């Protein structure tokens, strides 16, 4: 008689080593200029109307009376209007950035979720298709 034993190991998230990263002067200055900002980013999600989404995000930032780092992402979120409470971000490793934010608002990707949790940051997921 053949006996087969199957086991399943659940390991959680996989994390990479923290990158050797020095932020651009503008990002470093923004982070130091006030209370920790909220990170808002939707990564590779392509939003149909990025101008409308940017306006919605800016209204939420104003209403909540917080500072924000808004990741431009694949949708190229952003505005030309100067706002001392908002920094528009290109590429930046979450492993570094999430140490410096108050909360994380994102699309629910596994890597972003894991990094926010690893850094103990409150997380709000804005669901999009397929995530």
- 86 lies in some domain: yes
- 49 lies in some domain: yes
- The per-residue pLDDT for 13 is 73
- The per-residue pLDDT for 58 is 97
- The per-residue pLDDT for 16 is 76
- 24 lies in some domain: no
- The per-residue pLDDT for 68 is 98
- 78 lies in some domain: yes
Count of structural domains, the chain: 1
- 115 lies in some domain: no
Measuring CA to CA, how many Å separate 64 from each of 16, 17, 40, 67, 111?
Answer: 33, 34, 13, 9, 26
- 58 lies in some domain: yes
Please enumerate in sequence order all residues whose Cβ is within 8 A of that of 40, keeping only pairs 6 or more positions apart, or say none.
Answer: 57, 61, 68, 69, 70, 71, 105, 106
pTM of the model: 0.87
Average pLDDT by consecutive 10-residue portion of the chain (131 residues)? 71 77 96 98 91 96 98 92 95 95 94 92 86 48
Full residue range of the structural domain in which residue 36 is found = 29-98
Distance CA 107, CA 127 (A): 6
Helix (H) / strand (E) containing 3: none
Distance CA 60, CA 89 (A): 18
Q: What is the CATH number of the domain that holds 36?
A: 3.40.50.2000
- 2 lies in some domain: no
- The per-residue pLDDT for 130 is 55
């Amino acid at each position: 008689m053949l006996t087969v034993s199957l086991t399943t190991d659940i390991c959680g998230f996989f994390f990479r080593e923290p990158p050797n990263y020095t932020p651009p002067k503008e990002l470093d200055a923004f982070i130091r200029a006030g209370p920790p900002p909220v990170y808002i980013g939707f990564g590779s999600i392509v939003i149909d109307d990025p101008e409308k989404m940017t306006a919605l995000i800016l209204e939420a930032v104003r209403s909540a009376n917080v500072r924000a780092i808004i990741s431009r992402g694949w949708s190229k979120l952003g505005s030309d209007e100067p706002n001392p409470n908002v920094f528009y971000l290109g590429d930046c490793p979450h492993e570094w950035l999430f140490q410096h934010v108050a909360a994380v608002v994102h699309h629910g990707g596994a890597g972003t979720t894991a990094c926010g949790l690893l850094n103990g940051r409150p997380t709000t997921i804005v669901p999009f298709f397929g995530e």
